[in-house]
Amino acid sequence: MACASHVLVFLFISQLALVTYTTALLCDSCVGLCKSSCEKELNLSLYLHQIAAGPNHNQEQIVSPSFANGFGTTGVNDWPLLDAPQPNANIIARAKGLHIQASQEGGGWFSPFSMVFQEQDSRFNRSTLQVNGMIGPEATGEWAIVGGTGKLAMARGIIKYKFPQIVTSVENYRQLDIHAFYTPQAV
């Protein structure tokens, strides 16, 4: 014969199980997890065209401190991101932001910028990727993708870059291999 304590334990455990099951059914969408993957993956190669001086320059020095090795020098940039390393290639996006000489030894530029996709790009029309990283004297490097807007909302990932083509001492093309995950906004 069951004693009262066994009945109470049984009732308590069955109520707990019922509440847990019901909460899981009702609040499955509350936890923010998708039943299928919400994230999309982006793999894209673009070419950043940088022109430091001349009539078609796309960056400008705005702060010139007197520190050794140009430490603290700050520039603003509007670099086009092209589909090929050629002057007449299609502009897919623009890298709009800053580059700051952040190394007292020289040659280390911190570059935070927004990668703004052009209106003509139907995939990512005016969406952005927020990018941070260092540009050093090395021919290769990486930047962090720390956010995104529009169709690239909540992006995170990396951009690996290398210099496939240096045109002159003031003009170059930097190949950007973009790998990111993002969560498209619901319509």
Distances (CA, A) of 73 to 29, 67, 111, 170: 49, 9, 12, 17
Domain range annotation of the chain: 42-182
Cα 129 to chain center, whole Å?
4
Mean pLDDT of all residues belonging to the chain:
85
Give the mean pLDDT of 158-168. 88
Spatial distance between the Cα atoms of 139 and 174, rounded to a whole number of angstroms: 9
Q: What is the pLDDT of residue 30?
A: 43
The contacts of residue 29 (CB under 8 Å, 6+ apart) are none
Q: How many beta carbons lie within 10 A of that of residue 161, not counting itself?
A: 22
Q: What is the pLDDT of residue 26?
A: 47
Give the mean pLDDT of 95-105. 94
| pLDDT tens-digit readout, 12-65 | 565 655 545 544 544 444 455 554 468 999 999 999 999 999 999 999 999 999
Spatial distance between the Cα atoms of 46 and 87, rounded to a whole number of angstroms: 13
Q: 121 by DSSP, 3-state: which?
A: coil
Which of these, 57, 59, 46, 40, lies nearest to 151 by C-alpha position? 40
Considering the four listed CATH numbers 2.40.128.110, 2.40.480.10, 3.10.400.10, 2.60.40.420, the one that applies to the domain covering 42-182 is: 2.40.480.10
